[in-house]
Amino acid sequence: MGVAVNEQHIKVDNTPTQPPREIPTKKLIGDSMGQFGLNISSGLLGLITYYYTDVVGVSAAVVGTVMLLTKVLDAFADIGMGVLVDRTKTKYGQARPWLLWMTIPMFISLFLMFSVPDISSTGKIIYAIITNLVFYILVFTPTSIPYNSLMALTTRNSYERSLMGIIRSSSGYLAGMVVAVAFVPIVTAMGNSRSDWTLLASIFAGVAAIGIFISFLSNREKYNNVQLDELGMFQDKTPIREGLKLLFANKYWVYMFFVMALASILFALGVAAGSYYAKYIWGNVSLIGIMGAIGLIPVIIGFALSGPFIKRYGKRNTALGGILIGLLGAAVRLVAPESITLGLICS
């Protein structure tokens, strides 16, 4: 005797499911405060060239050389820091404790960078080199490398990592906009003296340090070397030389290396050049604040839409769409570089 089956009542769900969330949203927001703090500091560094040239009185050529020297040395420090994080073992984990250790140095180093003493030109240059090296190699790198590592150490949920990345990026852009919108107009209203720059920079540095500390409090490592070792999942350490060979043998890693290098260069150029552009092309340095305020609007819209777009079209296509929109805005802006209205809209 056969068994009758009513096919109308059978429902097949082929929708891919994600594993359960491991981190509540409020913890993700707390984690993103680390990116907020890092971008406050990088926003200040975007203003450091203007501070050196137009406030302290160091030549632009010397400033460019100093910044190039520190970034080249910092590139090697990044590799060393990665090895150091991998070998760190504390009760807080391997990456998370670095956020705690770098909270106070973050404030002190930024304060010192914007406290160039009134000494000879040679003395100012030496002071700039030392403070930049201290910040990049001994503070920024030991903060940013562990912070970026936390994404892999706190969750294995791929969607949650995407969400963490979106919230981090949102906080980072908000921090960058705060610096862009507020700093130059406020310091100009204060009098634009060297002491005014030092005072305001120290306030922003304090905010950056607090953001790093909040991120430390909000994270918990679940998949670091200690936990994996206890579960019998820890792999033998790979020597640095062999690890570099493996990296450069991975063509996709090489693609991302050059893409991120170019993106970092463009970001740095955009941040550093903004004050000069507003002052010498538009004739009013305070317009950099208006540029930042208007620029915040599409950033908020973009991040609000990025999650649904990534879910529907994927990360690659979403990123490609954003790049095309950015290229269009840059191309139209070149039509009339002196136009404030066109510049604000297109940027």
Q: What is the mean pLDDT of residues 295-300?
A: 74
**Residue 155 CB coordination number (10 Å):** 20
pLDDT in tens, 131-169: 999 999 999 999 999 999 898 888 887 778 888 888 998
pLDDT in tens, 160-193: 888 888 899 889 888 988 888 889 889 989 998 9
Cβ atoms of 316 and 197 within 8 Å: the answer is no
Q: What is the mean pLDDT of residues 307-332?
A: 87
Token digits of residue 197:
């720059």
Fold of 22-237: Growth Hormone; Chain: A; (1.20.1250)
Cβ atoms of 44 and 201 within 8 Å: the answer is yes
User: Which regions of the chain carry the CATH code 1.20.1250.20?
Assistant: 22-237
Distance from first CA to last CA of the chain, Å, rounded?
74
On the question of pLDDT at 240 being above 80, the answer is: no
Q: Which of 155, 169, 209, 174 is nearest to 32 (CA)?
A: 169
On the question of pLDDT at 102 being above 90, the answer is: yes
Token digits of residue 121:
């030109």
Q: What is the mean pLDDT of residues 12-27?
A: 67
On the question of pLDDT at 3 being above 50, the answer is: no
On the question of pLDDT at 12 being above 60, the answer is: no
What's the predicted TM-score (pTM) here?
A: 0.75
pLDDT in tens, 242-284: 877 888 889 998 898 888 878 777 776 776 677 788 888 888 8
Alpha-carbon distance of 229 to 42, in angstroms, equals: 36
- With residues binned 3-state (H G I as helix, E B as strand, rest as coil), the percentages for the chain, rounded to 5, are 80, 0, 20
Q: What is the mean pLDDT of residues 95-103?
A: 95
Q: Which of 205, 162, 193 is nearest to 315 (CA)?
A: 162
Token digits of residue 90:
């504390």
